[in-house]
Amino acid sequence: MELLQTLLATLVALGVLVTIHEWGHFWVARRCGVKVLRFSVGFGKPLWMRTAADGTEYAVAAIPLGGYVRMLDEREGDVPESLRDQAFNNKPVLQRIAIVAAGPLVNLIFAVVAYWFLFMSGISAVVPVVGNITPDSPAAQAGVDSGYEVLQVDGHKVRSWSDVNLRLAARVGESGTIELLMGEPQRGFAHSYQVPISDWKVDLERQSPLAALGLEPWQPEFPAVIGQVLPDGAAQRDGLMVSDRVLEVNGEPVRDWLHLVELIQQSPGQALRLVVEREGRHQALQLTPGTRTLQDGSVQGYIGAGVAPVEVPETMQRTLSYGPVDALVNGFHKTGQMIGLTLDSIGKMIVGVISVKNLSGPITIAKVAGTSAASGLESFISFLAYLSISLGVLNLLPIPMLDGGHLLYYVVELVRGRPVSEQVQMLGLRIGMALLFSLMALAIINDIARLF
């Protein structure tokens, strides 16, 4: 069932974003008088195709990782004299620029609309109140106090942990100080902390910028109550059941769930004596955690069990909701922030500040699509908006084979007054293909590595 949900969510996400991207090219091409031969969602053999009265073929193809709009073009075949004025290559350079740029721009517009809808309907968020401070972390060095709400990061107002993380992510790789304004708004109290960073490196694959700074979000207390038992795990094998409350491990009282996890991780392959409360009675069990080897070579215990969920108090929740105009303004602002963060991340990856291990491919996209769909409509629409921004920004990069590569050629043509030579374009195509295929291969390798 989970696999089916992931597959459907991925197909919906890619189908929506590819369709609107290609529709952007299609719509502007038709407005510029270019004859469109085929509008295809997906590559390869068509699974469904219909020919309209004007001769345009509309198709859904077997490989859903993209799509295309095929336009009449003398560079791709003979064009009858009567149709030459409808060929893409015979249109003025400004019209060709508009046609090529329309696809990525529609992706960015879609993100604005998606965020506008979310801000209109209301976004659920946890109030960004700090719990524990990691010892010896940058936050600890700055004397940051726990229990206060983060109000601003570097002068920018934040209202959720997502906002905080995005602001911190923009500072990865930098030196100086991060200014945190924290306090208790209901009491009118606020204090500014200057958190020092020096060439701030964050392994984004393993931790968030928030964790790297040493800030842990406030969490309700999670008692050591079993909420999930995975099949074929040590917990199921040795008799742990859902709703069991673990009271002792080897005679040591268990404070909470995190304490239980710590005790288990420290005991790979070792028999543990547990006392659990089950249906009001105490019961003794013997549990032997399994072992797993981490990337750093260390060995850790695990039992295949999850914690019982705990309700977050209403005082620690808020809904970010706006009227139509303010929601639109916030939609533009959010989209602009995500575009800036995407470009900043690409730049930092090029210079080595961010590891290329953070590149993600289709497997990771599918997993995130499935997870976001399972979390609800709000989460899935947020994912669509973010993926649409990524698609739009990446397609505007000046890399041959991408829309941005074609735009580069047309801008050069606009400046020089004559097209870029076919030889230069073919050379660029080969370089672009090599670069894109290398990046795709690296992204898939990263995806496979994450699976294991």
Give the pLDDT confidence of 110-158 residue by residue, as tens digits: 999 999 999 999 988 889 999 989 999 999 999 999 999 999 999 999 9
Q: What pLDDT, on the 0 to 100 scale, is given for residue 414?
A: 92
Q: What pLDDT, on the 0 to 100 scale, is given for residue 263?
A: 93
Asked if pLDDT for residue 428 goes beyond 90, the answer is no
| Coil vs helix vs strand at 406 | helix
Q: What pLDDT, on the 0 to 100 scale, is given for residue 383?
A: 92
**Tokens standing for 283?**
């019961």
d(CA 303, CA 291): 9
Predicted confidence (pLDDT) per residue in 33-67, tens digit: 999 999 999 888 899 999 999 899 999 998 887 88
Q: What pLDDT, on the 0 to 100 scale, is given for residue 296?
A: 67
Q: Give yes or no: 22 in active site.
A: yes
Mean pLDDT in residue range 316-322: 89
- Name the catalytic one among 22, 57, 179, 311: 22
Predicted confidence (pLDDT) per residue in 198-254, tens digit: 888 887 767 789 989 999 998 888 899 999 998 888 999 999 999 999 999 999 999
Write out the residue limits of the CATH 2.30.42.10 domain(s) in the chain. 125-220+311-320, 226-307
Q: Best-predicted range by mean pLDDT among 303-307, 308-312, 330-334, 430-434?
A: 330-334
Which residue is it, tokens 């859904």?
60
> Taking a C-beta distance cutoff of 8 angstroms, is the pair 57, 50 a contact?
yes
pTM of the model: 0.82
Helix segments in 250-402, DSSP class H: 257-265, 324-350, 362-375, 377-395
Q: What pLDDT, on the 0 to 100 scale, is given for residue 295?
A: 65
Q: Report the mean per-residue pLDDT for the chain.
A: 89
Mean pLDDT in residue range 353-377: 78
CATH class of the domain comprising 226-307:
mainly beta
Asked if pLDDT for residue 12 goes beyond 90, the answer is no
CATH T-level fold of 125-220+311-320 = Pdz3 Domain (2.30.42)
423 phi/psi in degrees, rounded to 5? -60, -45
Mean pLDDT in residue range 374-398: 91
Q: Are strands 123-126 and 299-302 parallel, antiparallel or unpaired?
A: unpaired
295 phi/psi in degrees, rounded to 5? -65, -30
Predicted confidence (pLDDT) per residue in 149-173, tens digit: 999 999 999 999 999 999 998 898 8
Q: What pLDDT, on the 0 to 100 scale, is given for residue 452?
A: 64
Asked if pLDDT for residue 274 goes beyond 90, the answer is yes
Among 228, 197, 226, residue whose Cα is nearest residue 214:
197
Asked if pLDDT for residue 1 goes beyond 70, the answer is no
Among 303, 288, 314, 276, residue whose Cα is nearest residue 127:
314
For 182, residues 6+ apart whose C-beta sits below 8 A from its C-beta are: 130, 144, 145, 148, 149, 150, 151, 190, 191, 192, 193
